[in-house]
Amino acid sequence: MPTQTKTPINLLTKPSKATLVEEFVGKSLDGLRTPAIIIDRKIFSENCAKMHRKAADWGTGFRAHLKTHKTSEGARLQLISSVDKTDRVIVSTLMEAWEVVNTGLVQDGTVKDILYGLPIPVNKIADMSELWDTIDVNGGIVRILLDHPDQVKYLDEFEKQRTISRKWSAFVKIDGGQKRAGVSTITPHFETLLITILQSSFVSIYGFYGHAGNSYASTSLSEASSFLSGEVQAVNDAANAALSILKKLGLEAPETPFVLSVGATPTAHAASAETRATLSTLLHGTLELHAGNYPMLDLQQQHTTLINKSQIAQRVRATVVSYYPRRGKDGSDEALIDAGAIAFSKDTGPSGGYGDVLGKAWRVGRISQEHGILTRTDSSDAKLQLGEVVDIVGQHACLIAAAYPWYYVVDSDIENGEKIVDMWVPWKGW
């Protein structure tokens, strides 16, 4: 079986939170070295509570994806809000999973269920197994995604080598038409995968997992609701197929219903008692909602019309370093800032550009590695001055946050959000 070196959790040295807190907490945002990412903790927390309310209204459990901020502080806010709590998470890397453990989230019972959000790489099975052993001490469980029969074969081989074998708990990852990860329920490959799992002594089907990444194209509640219904239909069809195959193989249906896990931030925002009532399909399992971008949000999410600008919890602060009168294609002015593709990523969105300047009719219109070009969206707006500091909301919070070694945290309930109240250090690496 192919293997890789283990997750280098002890080889990466992160900035010291204590040192950062001593240096910055209590200070004004004025004078921060730019570029800098700023997170409003109040808005972040409110967004987490709203998502818990969505799940409650929909009558489902909730699983929080940690990939956007990758911090223990943010994870706690996602899992325990003023509305509800959950102990189920998704991680996008094994480094995130190990950091969940190392920051005490498993030991104190905040996290009990970790789903690795990529179909299990066969050369990381040993590392995943060690993770499972580690959290099992505190009653935790690791769950995996499967979308290919050979993944099951390698898991079987691995467990046969162990002195005491176990049974892995797996979601089957469903491709609902997005053609990302996952298997389509209308292909022979899907039935082969199900039969392989159901006949395995070392893997069991916990449920079926869908993610409507294409829902980011939504521009209304009705469109997002349609994507959500499509997600539910895809995982429900998969569960129904599994029950039929069990019957055909002469095997009993599981005592616990399959978990039908669906969601992306746009479709999760569309979840409500009303949309739940429209699901006339007989469900062959128990629904679970999942999402990840929702605590921070961004321009891509704003474009869906399911959130408004006041709900966006993150912004990037940059400095104007030069100004170019009438240089634009239409004779409008342009300005140079000290934040570029590393600071914002090169993700754009339906609204255009790479970020919008807050309170001013300017946007990041072009971008290079370490600098960006601000272009006007209204020629009547005031000129920018060299040395002026601007706050910018970017297109995709997940990739923006990944660039920064730490986050400056403010709280709009404390001194109008003008002073730093905490420092968050994100988890890095794979």
Q: What is the pLDDT of residues 361-404, one digit of tens each?
A: 999 999 999 999 999 999 888 899 999 999 999 999 999 999 99
Alpha helix locations (H) across 271-401?
A: 273-277, 299-303, 341-344, 397-401
The overall average pLDDT reported for the chain is: 93
In this structure, which amino acid lies at residue 380? S
What letter would DSSP give residue 42? H
| Residue whose C-alpha is closest to residue 364's, from 329, 399, 331, 338 | 338
Topology of the domain covering 301-395 = Lyase, Ornithine Decarboxylase; Chain A, domain 1 (2.40.37)
- Is 301-395 the same fold as 41-295? no
Q: Would the pLDDT of 226 be above 70?
A: no
- Mean pLDDT computed over 96-107: 98
| Residue whose C-alpha is closest to residue 269's, from 223, 233, 208 | 223
What CA–CA distance (Å, rounded) separates 15 from 22? 13
- Tokens 């708990």: give the residue: 169
What CA–CA distance (Å, rounded) separates 201 from 162? 13
Q: What is the CATH number of domain 41-295?
A: 3.20.20.10
Domain ranges of the chain: 41-295, 301-395
Band of pLDDT at residue 49, cut at 50, 70 and 90:
very high
Q: Which helix (H) or strand (E) holds 171?
A: strand 168-173
Q: What is the pLDDT of residues 399-420, one digit of tens each?
A: 999 999 999 999 999 999 999 9
What CA–CA distance (Å, rounded) separates 151 from 125? 10
Alpha helix locations (H) across 163-295?
A: 188-198, 221-248, 265-270, 273-277
Band of pLDDT at residue 176, cut at 50, 70 and 90:
confident
Express as a percent the part of the chain with pLDDT over 70. 93
Band of pLDDT at residue 221, cut at 50, 70 and 90:
low
Band of pLDDT at residue 138, cut at 50, 70 and 90:
very high
